Structure 1
Amino acid sequence: MISWRKHYKKTLIAIGLLLSTSASFYGQDGDPKNGEKLFKANCTACHALDKQVIGPPLKGVVERVKTEGGVDKDWLHKWIKDNKALRASGDKYANEIFEKYNKTEMQVFPNLSDKDIDDILAFTTNPPAPEPEKTAETTPAGDTAAAAPADKTTTNIVIISLLAIAGLLVWILVKLRQLVKLGQSEDLAGLNESRVRSFKEMYEKFHYIGKAALAILAILAAYGVWNWLMWIGVYKGYKPEQPIYFSHKIHAGENKIDCQLCHSSAKYGKVSEIPSMNVCMNCHRTISEYNGKYLEPGKDKAFYDGEIQKIYAATGWDPAKQQYTGKTQPVEWTRIHNMPDFVYFNHSQHVVAGEQAIINSFNKKNPNNKIDVVCKACHGKIDTMNVVQMANDFTMGWCIECHRTTEVDMNNGYNKEYFKNLHDKLKKQYPQDGGKITVDAIGGLECGKCHY
């Protein structure tokens, strides 16, 4: 009996040790929440939990490597820290994985500690449940009670308005009935004698008033035509639909992507070109679905995922095989900003030479709506736009006004040396401005600067 109890006790201890070892092996000795942060910072460029990107899916990777290669968590530590060295050592399973995934060399992570790797593996074994996403249409529960009285008040206002309109209609009917009776009486006979019976009589009686009215109408008509002519080609607020939906608010606003990462020629070229689809694929080769928290009203995650698939169709990318098929579909973008052929405008001149001067001038004129990058001075706050629109008039007068009010940065080394004599001359010529030099003073209003 005593020996059986001892045997039973030893069995329980063995089972406990086995369970603790198993839990440790499968990544449960790490912190999944911290592992999620590390995973997003280091792994998401090439891996996802539930699908292949550049590398294999990592959900349950600890168990998978044990089943496939007969290796343990220590092997994963070596692979993550320096897979190249592990392959060079002749490790069979490491070289099999390298061959299986098109000999794509994984980045090494010597900066990750053993605890960091344990946390990442804990996350891949048991990822925490995702937090519910907030949409722009989400209404706090507490607002429901407040909305009910507001709806009741609105209903009361509508009812009162309808009753007032009904009363007004009754009053009009009564007055019309009185007029009909008046027309049937003898009191109207005297009025009929003095009534104007023809346009000629009316003109003779009121010709001075008529001529004045015609003159006013002619002036207003001329002004209307002139104003209409002056606004031909001005499309402020124009925001056409594009073949692929692209939200600048998500890319430039939520994700803080620099404008010039996509519009690279805006800084060093005359024209800020539309980025090629290959530029999109620099990121979207590994980002095949939208997992951001921001959702535009009326759009859901499935909508954004569908637009990413359009990028793949345009570039001929097969996300399952992680390779290009060679079958591409050109995208016909609708251009928004388009200068006339007779206008010369150089982006680099404004973005490089005039960057700080334009930002300072804009912020001085708009203290409550300041900008941090020069692009926004002309294109508006792009990082808040879901659909890009033309934010300004882009007329000749608009450009001239900017040249007249934007002060040239004379602390710039080039300007300070090149315009040295001009600077001294303008100080004497415009003493009331303290010698400030605006763009118009250095030729910004010369016709040949902007027109061929």
Structure 2
Amino acid sequence: MISWRKHYKKTLIAIGLLLSTSASFYGQDGDPKNGEKLFKANCTACHALDKQVIGPPLKGVVERVKTEGGVDRDWLHKWIKDNKALRASGDKYANEIFEKYNKTEMLQFPNLTEKDIDDILAFTTNPPAPEEKKTEATPAPGADAAAPADKSTTNIVIISLLAIAGLLVWILVKLRQLVKLGQSEELTGLNESRVRSFKEMYEKFHYVGKGIIAVLAILAAYGVWNWLMWIGVYKGYKPEQPIYFSHKIHAGEQKIDCQLCHSSAKYGKVSEIPSMNVCMNCHRTISEYNADHYMEPGKDKAFYDGEIQKIYAATGWDPAKQQYTGKTQPVEWTRIHNMPDFVYFNHSQHVIAGEQAIINSFNKKNPNNKIDVVCKACHGKIDTMNVVQMANDFTMGWCIECHRTTEVDMNNGYNKEYFKNLHDKLKKQYPQDGGKITVDAIGGLECGKCHY
């Protein structure tokens, strides 16, 4: 009996060790919720749970490496911390993976602790179920919420019918009065004094007629002149583009700098339309829309995912194979801001030389609508626009007004020295203004500056 009890205890201990080792191996000794945060912070640039991105899908990776390479969790710890050193040591399975994925070297993560890696492995083994989104209950069509609207509509119809009935009664009364008038002697006198032809009416009222014609002619001339002056002014113009691109999501929600995409706006004459390869810098690894906290009204996740697929079609990117096919499609963007050919405008001159001066001038004129980026002075608050539109008139008068009110930045060492004599002259000429130098004082109104 004693011998049997000893064997029984040994068996229980062995089973306990086996279960604990198994649980540890499958990553269950970690915290999946914390692992999800670590995974998103460190892994999502190259990996997804259920599909290949740059690297393989990581769902069930613990079981997969055991089946494919016969390695355990300790091997995964070494691989994640420093896969380069693991390959250099001659590890067969590590080098097989390196060759399998086109010798794309995985980043090293020496900063992750053993517990961090355990949490990540727990997440890949058993991802937490997504939390259900709380949605506000909305009344069904035809419910009590619709009752007040129906009652209001009924009242409006009744009031309208009563008004029409009253009008008909009034018309009948007036017709009866006219009939009575036709039967009286007063009507005979009126018939003798009335105008019987257009000629008589013109001779009687020709001064009034000429005055009215003159006023109408002046109004018509002003209307034509005003219409001609606004040809080519498209403030508020926001065309539909072949690929939907929300600046509010990219520049607003994600805080992407304007010049990351429009790289020539600062140092070039023209702010170019970014090539699709610029989009692929991010969307090579972002193949679906997961920012559930912001969606434009009327659009859902399927819509945004479809627009990302258009980027892949344009660049010839195969997300399954993670490589370019060579079959590209041109994207015919609709241009929004376009200066006439007879107008010279240099972006770099305004973005670099005039940056602080333009921002200061704009904020001074708009204290309740200040800007932090010079681009917004002309293009409006792009980071709040889902669909980009022309925010200003972009007329000659609009530019001249800006040149007349924008002060030159005299804190700039170059300007302070270069315009020293001009500054002294203006101080004497306009003492009440303190000799302020605005852009028009340094040639901002010269025709040849913009028209050449």
TM-score by length of 1: 0.91
Q: Deviations over 1:122-146 (max 9, x none)?
A: 22222223345689x9979999998
Contact (CA 8 Å) 2:46, 2:54: kept in 1 or not? yes
C-alpha distance in structure 2 between counterparts of 1:288 and 1:268, whole Å: 32
RMSD: 2.9
> Higher mean Cα deviation, 345-354 or 423-432?
423-432
Contact (CA 8 Å) 2:236, 2:391: kept in 1 or not? yes
C-alpha distance in structure 1 between counterparts of 2:14 and 2:151, whole Å: 70
> Higher mean Cα deviation, 264-273 or 118-127?
118-127
Contact (CA 8 Å) 2:380, 2:391: kept in 1 or not? yes
1:334 positional shift: 0.6
C-alpha distance in structure 1 between counterparts of 2:142 and 2:370, whole Å: 33
Contact (CA 8 Å) 1:134, 1:295: kept in 2 or not? no
Contact (CA 8 Å) 1:406, 1:439: kept in 2 or not? yes
Contact (CA 8 Å) 1:31, 1:119: kept in 2 or not? yes
Contact (CA 8 Å) 1:361, 1:405: kept in 2 or not? yes
Q: Deviations over 1:335-369 (max 9, x none)?
A: 00100011000001111111111111111111111
- Distance verdict in 2 for CA 1:41–1:220, change over 3 Å: same
- Distance verdict in 2 for CA 1:156–1:215, change over 3 Å: same
1:114 positional shift: 1.8
Q: Deviations over 1:299-356 (max 9, x none)?
A: 1111111111111111111111111111111111110010001100000111111111
> Higher mean Cα deviation, 434-443 or 151-160?
151-160
- Distance verdict in 2 for CA 1:219–1:113, change over 3 Å: same
- Distance verdict in 2 for CA 1:217–1:17, change over 3 Å: same
1:45 positional shift: 1.1
Gap runs ≥5 in structure 1: none
Q: 2:424: which partner in 1?
A: 424
- Distance verdict in 2 for CA 1:3–1:359, change over 3 Å: same
- Distance verdict in 2 for CA 1:199–1:329, change over 3 Å: same
- Distance verdict in 2 for CA 1:208–1:30, change over 3 Å: same
C-alpha distance in structure 2 between counterparts of 1:429 and 1:232, whole Å: 39
> Higher mean Cα deviation, 405-414 or 389-398?
405-414
Contact (CA 8 Å) 2:47, 2:54: kept in 1 or not? yes
C-alpha distance in structure 2 between counterparts of 1:27 and 1:166, whole Å: 82
- Distance verdict in 2 for CA 1:337–1:207, change over 3 Å: same
1:17 positional shift: 3.6
> Higher mean Cα deviation, 261-270 or 316-325?
316-325
Contact (CA 8 Å) 2:358, 2:374: kept in 1 or not? yes
1:74 positional shift: 1.4
- Distance verdict in 2 for CA 1:186–1:240, change over 3 Å: farther
C-alpha distance in structure 2 between counterparts of 1:394 and 1:160, whole Å: 49
1:22 positional shift: 2.3
Contact (CA 8 Å) 2:236, 2:390: kept in 1 or not? yes
C-alpha distance in structure 2 between counterparts of 1:278 and 1:138, whole Å: 43
C-alpha distance in structure 1 between counterparts of 2:202 and 2:429, whole Å: 61
- Distance verdict in 2 for CA 1:444–1:49, change over 3 Å: same
The 5-angstrom pairing of residues 312-351 of structure 1 reads: 312-351=312-351
C-alpha distance in structure 2 between counterparts of 1:4 and 1:156, whole Å: 93
- Distance verdict in 2 for CA 1:343–1:92, change over 3 Å: same
Check if 1:255 corresponds to 2:254. Answer: yes
C-alpha distance in structure 2 between counterparts of 1:399 and 1:100, whole Å: 59
C-alpha distance in structure 2 between counterparts of 1:49 and 1:324, whole Å: 22
Contact (CA 8 Å) 1:27, 1:118: kept in 2 or not? yes
> Higher mean Cα deviation, 145-154 or 352-361?
145-154
1:9 positional shift: 5.5
C-alpha distance in structure 2 between counterparts of 1:282 and 1:301, whole Å: 21
C-alpha distance in structure 2 between counterparts of 1:204 and 1:316, whole Å: 80
C-alpha distance in structure 1 between counterparts of 2:329 and 2:85, whole Å: 42
Contact (CA 8 Å) 1:69, 1:93: kept in 2 or not? yes
C-alpha distance in structure 2 between counterparts of 1:355 and 1:77, whole Å: 50
- Distance verdict in 2 for CA 1:223–1:134, change over 3 Å: farther
> Higher mean Cα deviation, 36-45 or 52-61?
36-45
Contact (CA 8 Å) 2:139, 2:145: kept in 1 or not? no
Contact (CA 8 Å) 1:26, 1:122: kept in 2 or not? yes
Q: 2:181: which partner in 1?
A: 182
Gap runs ≥5 in structure 2: none
Q: 1:220: which partner in 2?
A: 219
Q: Deviations over 1:369-427 (max 9, x none)?
A: 11111111111111111111111000000000111111111001221121111111111
1:59 positional shift: 1.3
1:193 positional shift: 3.2
Contact (CA 8 Å) 2:288, 2:308: kept in 1 or not? yes
1:172 positional shift: 4.7
> Higher mean Cα deviation, 99-108 or 193-202?
193-202
- Distance verdict in 2 for CA 1:184–1:114, change over 3 Å: farther
Contact (CA 8 Å) 1:278, 1:315: kept in 2 or not? yes
TM-score by length of 2: 0.91
Check if 1:274 corresponds to 2:273. Answer: yes
C-alpha distance in structure 1 between counterparts of 2:418 and 2:137, whole Å: 57
1:69 positional shift: 1.1
Percent identity between the aligned chains?
Answer: 95
Q: Deviations over 1:60-98 (max 9, x none)?
A: 111211121111221111111111111111111111111
C-alpha distance in structure 1 between counterparts of 2:126 and 2:379, whole Å: 46
C-alpha distance in structure 2 between counterparts of 1:9 and 1:160, whole Å: 93
1:197 positional shift: 2.7
Q: Deviations over 1:142-177 (max 9, x none)?
A: 999988767765765565456545654554566556
Q: Deviations over 1:184-241 (max 9, x none)?
A: 7765444333332322222222222212211111111111011000000000011111
- Distance verdict in 2 for CA 1:32–1:212, change over 3 Å: same
Matched position secondary structure for 2:409: coil
1:34 positional shift: 2.2
C-alpha distance in structure 1 between counterparts of 2:238 and 2:122, whole Å: 47
Matched position secondary structure for 1:340: coil
- Distance verdict in 2 for CA 1:102–1:204, change over 3 Å: same
C-alpha distance in structure 1 between counterparts of 2:450 and 2:72, whole Å: 69
C-alpha distance in structure 2 between counterparts of 1:349 and 1:422, whole Å: 21
1:23 positional shift: 2.4
- Distance verdict in 2 for CA 1:139–1:106, change over 3 Å: farther
Check if 1:283 corresponds to 2:282. Answer: yes
- Distance verdict in 2 for CA 1:10–1:438, change over 3 Å: same
1:2 positional shift: 6.8
Matched position secondary structure for 1:66: helix
1:31 positional shift: 2.2
